[in-house]
Structure 1
Amino acid sequence: MGIMERINYFFATGFMVGRIKYMPGTFGSLVGLGLLALFPILRSWPAIIITVIVGTLICQQEENRTGIKDNQEIVIDEIAGVFITFAFMNPYNFVHYLTGFLLFRVFDIFKPGPIDYVQDFKGGTGVMLDDIVAGLISGIILFFVF
């Protein structure tokens, strides 16, 4: 693997947490939550759009490199989904963060309705779309609950 592929893999795996054998998506979501806590600007729509575009390109590169569709190690999609979840409100306390995190994970894991449908898209788009929709649904629910 060349240097550019290593850099791509580093970001695709959420700074390597995607390599954790058990629940890599959950750990990737926690990375997203940590990044939001450190850098609240990441919940802004311009930052989210950049993350989604770059994440889609990164996912496509990983799929091209490995030949694996939606490899479990890739968690940049969960990170983007968490950013989207919290774009609808400014979490003020632990309960807000916990509720948003749990909502996102439930929708990401069980993939009801449109979430399941969009993951069938090809390439990096398909990898990212289910988490984008899960984040949108979670964010809207979170907004109305709080």
Structure 2
Amino acid sequence: MIARMIGTVCGVGYLRPAPGTWGSLVALPLAWALHILGGFPLLVLAALAVFAGGWWATAQMTAGQSDHDPSEIVADEVVGQWIALAPLSYAAWDRGIEVLVMWPGWIAAFALFRLFDIWNPWLVGQADARVDALGVMLDDVIAGVFAALGVLVLAGFAHGVLRV
């Protein structure tokens, strides 16, 4: 019961279609709330906690099953989305500005994370090819890192080249 609540993020993983997208969407207001409550450090701690809980929950939910990555498990999407948003949270926390001022970055973080999570390029695909609970979590962590790097590149382009 607890594993199912953690793995599906309180049932969000049962939403159709595209439960992974729903998991990523629910991660956005949660990230905002975490940032408001404790800034970047709280977002990082929450991501670590959800990673650990999601890993455990995935192992519990998939024990004895042939499907090692059922679509209803979306804790991995939450962690990956939070990683994609981390550069925005850090910048807002470090500079004392409202995190939602960077709304284009939020859109980019969401879009890039979904792209990398669905596309599974390179290291994302290698992690996804694992047939264990750690692989379920790691592919989204790596997709989140790729998305965070993309957010940084786009921010550098927008502010450095375009000067917006």
* TM-score using structure 2 length: 0.79
Q: Percent identity?
A: 29
Instruction: Indicate whether 1:135 and 2:132 are aligned.
Output: no
* Amino acid in structure 1 at the alignment position of 2:8: T
CA distance in 2, matches of 1:71, 1:42: 32
The number of residues matched between the two structures is 141
Instruction: Indicate whether 1:145 and 2:144 are aligned.
Output: no
Q: Which runs of 5+ in 1 are unaligned?
A: 1-5
Instruction: Indicate whether 1:72 and 2:66 are aligned.
Output: no
RMSD over aligned Cα atoms: 1.7
Following TM superposition, by how much is the alpha carbon of 1:86 offset from its aligned partner in structure 2, in angstroms? Answer: 1.3
Cα deviations across residues 34-82 of structure 1 (Å, max 9, x unaligned)? 2011221485333322221221111111111655210000000000001
Instruction: Indicate whether 1:115 and 2:124 are aligned.
Output: yes
Q: Which residue of 1 aligns with 2:13?
A: 18
Q: Which residue of 1 aligns with 2:160?
A: none
Q: CA, structure 1 residues 106+134, in 2 after alignment: closer, same or farther (shift >3 Å)? A: same
Name which of 117, 133, 136 aligns with 1:124: 133
CA distance in 2, matches of 1:101, 1:16: 21
Q: What SS class does the counterpart of residue 63 from structure 2 fall into?
A: helix
Following TM superposition, by how much is the alpha carbon of 1:118 offset from its aligned partner in structure 2, in angstroms? Answer: 0.9
* Amino acid in structure 2 at the alignment position of 1:25: G
Following TM superposition, by how much is the alpha carbon of 1:17 offset from its aligned partner in structure 2, in angstroms? Answer: 1.4
Q: CA, structure 1 residues 133+20, in 2 after alignment: closer, same or farther (shift >3 Å)? A: same
Q: What SS class does the counterpart of residue 39 from structure 1 fall into?
A: helix
* TM-score using structure 1 length: 0.87
